[in-house]
Amino acid sequence: MLEKMSRKIPEKTPERVNDTEKVNILMVDDQPAKLLSYEAILSELGENLIKANSGKEALEQLLKHDIAVVLLDVSMPELDGFELADMIRQHPRFQKLAILFISAVHLTELDRLKGYQRGAFDYISVPVNPELLRAKVSIFAELHRNARQLEVLNAELRRLSNSLIAAQDEERRHIARELHDGLGQDLAAAKMILEGIDPKAAPTQVTGQVVAEASLIIDHAIQQLRSMSHLLHPPLLDEVGLQSALQWYLDGLTKRSGISITLEVQPRPFRRLAPEIEKTVFRVIQEALTNVYRHSKARNAWVSLLQQGGRVVATVRDDGQGISERVADLDTLSIGVGISGMRQRVKEMAGELTLSNASPGTIVRISLPTRSVAAEDQAVSLPSRA
């Protein structure tokens, strides 16, 4: 019966879940008075309470809703609690559904064993102890909520993994294209010029001009290679710190994109941070400005760095077209791999990432502790010295 009904209603896919979202509790009993008493007892939990007066109605509710706990009367006409539990367990979707049997008669050990074999999680005797019933239902409801959150996180992890692979492939294609179209063309041109020189001929003014032209092309190729290397990992970040590396990057991006970008730093001089903190801040700002260039249609952007109260706050603002509310809320299904990567980087450093609209434009702000998590872990693990 359950299999036939399930063909009409597709299984639910995991949706976004938060800590305060209510779960559904199904109460099954053929006596309306008992259902009202269960509802009065469980209303304090603040969950969604669903009532069913028969086994058939209970099956329909199970297929319509994502049920966390089933409160099931053992003695019901037509379809008793044991038979209903057996039918529920036969469906793959309800293999781990929490079922609590309620019995008004004394059950023998054989009856209890039969119930556990049919999938019961626990038994509650009548008269029902309200506090005991609330406690047991609350535990199973919270377990269900945690399981749903884990499903959503796993789905997001799979999505991020696929997006990361796609981003890596795209970055490889971009680097290959730059090497072929830029560096490769320059080196090929220099090779053609040098091959045109007769090594047996005496040096002339024309030969000197040809060599100078080839040297100029090779210098340009070296500059391209240096720029690509610096964009992948700026050496200034290790040598002189975050402020200088950012200023170098912003100057280059302004020339390439035409977007006017201003850097503001407080206090001056800007103190050095832990290497992993500086790297995180640089990469987040780099990704934020990449999004500004690709999506915002902005003409101006402003970057600020502030050290205060043991934290560093970095802000990127532009005067472009802004973002949607779902992106501003960091909705998992709306943000791309770039913002997801920014959020993950900041999270690993025990920081916070916020997005908001500036009317016009967008504001990306991160706040990180100046003392890195890795440094704290190392300090805790190191033995103290007398």
Residue finishing a domain among 91, 119, 154: 154
Whether 212 is covered by a domain: the verdict is: no
**124/266 same-domain check:** no
Task: Please report the pLDDT score of residue 121 as a whole number.
Answer: 63
Tokens of 293: 């260039």
**143/9 same-domain check:** yes
**270/137 same-domain check:** no
Task: Please report the pLDDT score of residue 13 as a whole number.
Answer: 43
Whether 203 is covered by a domain: the verdict is: no
**Mean pLDDT lowest for which of 29-33, 59-63, 160-164, 213-217?**
160-164
Query: In angstroms, rounded to a whole number, what is the distance separating the alpha carbons of residues 142 and 75?
Result: 28
Long-range contacts at 5-12 (CB < 8 A, ≥ 24 apart): 5/59, 5/60, 5/63, 6/63, 6/91, 6/93, 8/63, 9/63, 9/64, 11/93, 12/66
Mean pLDDT of the chain: 79
**29/137 same-domain check:** yes
Residue 56, domain CATH: 3.40.50.2300
Burial of 44 (0-12, 13-18, 19+ CB in 10 A): exposed
Mean pLDDT of 197-225: 72
The rounded radius of gyration (Å) of the Cα atoms in the chain is 33
Query: In angstroms, rounded to a whole number, what is the distance separating the alpha carbons of residues 7 and 119?
Result: 23
**244/145 same-domain check:** no
Q: What is the pTM of this model?
A: 0.51
Task: Please report the pLDDT score of residue 313 as a whole number.
Answer: 96
**243/370 same-domain check:** yes
The model's confidence at residue 316, banded by pLDDT at 50, 70 and 90, is very high
Whether 148 is covered by a domain: the verdict is: yes
Residue finishing a domain among 119, 136, 154: 154
Number of domains in the chain: 2
The model's confidence at residue 240, banded by pLDDT at 50, 70 and 90, is confident
Residue 359 three-state SS: coil
**Distance of alpha carbon 174 from the chain centroid:** 25
pLDDT(117) > 50: yes
Residue-wise pLDDT for 5-39, tens only, equals 444 444 444 444 444 578 999 998 888 888 898 89
**6/146 same-domain check:** yes
Tokens of 11: 């299984």
The single-letter DSSP state of residue 132 is H
Residues 274 and 372: beta-carbon distance below 8 Å: yes
Task: Please report the pLDDT score of residue 311 as a whole number.
Answer: 94
> Terminal CA-to-CA distance of the chain, rounded, Å?
74
Residue finishing a domain among 133, 154, 175: 154
Whether 249 is covered by a domain: the verdict is: yes
Task: Please report the pLDDT score of residue 30 as a whole number.
Answer: 85
Backbone phi and psi for residue 271, each to the nearest 5 degrees, phi listed first: -70, 150
Whether 335 is covered by a domain: the verdict is: yes
Whether 202 is covered by a domain: the verdict is: no
Domain coverage including residue 261: 237-381
Give every strand in the sheet of 311-318, ordered side by side. Answer: 260-266, 300-308, 311-318, 362-369, 352-357
Percent of the chain with pLDDT over 70: 76
The single-letter DSSP state of residue 1 is -
Task: Please report the pLDDT score of residue 203 as a whole number.
Answer: 66
Whether 26 is covered by a domain: the verdict is: yes
Residue 333, domain CATH: 3.30.565.10
Residues 351 and 366: beta-carbon distance below 8 Å: yes
The model's confidence at residue 242, banded by pLDDT at 50, 70 and 90, is very high
Whether 231 is covered by a domain: the verdict is: no
Tokens of 285: 């700002």
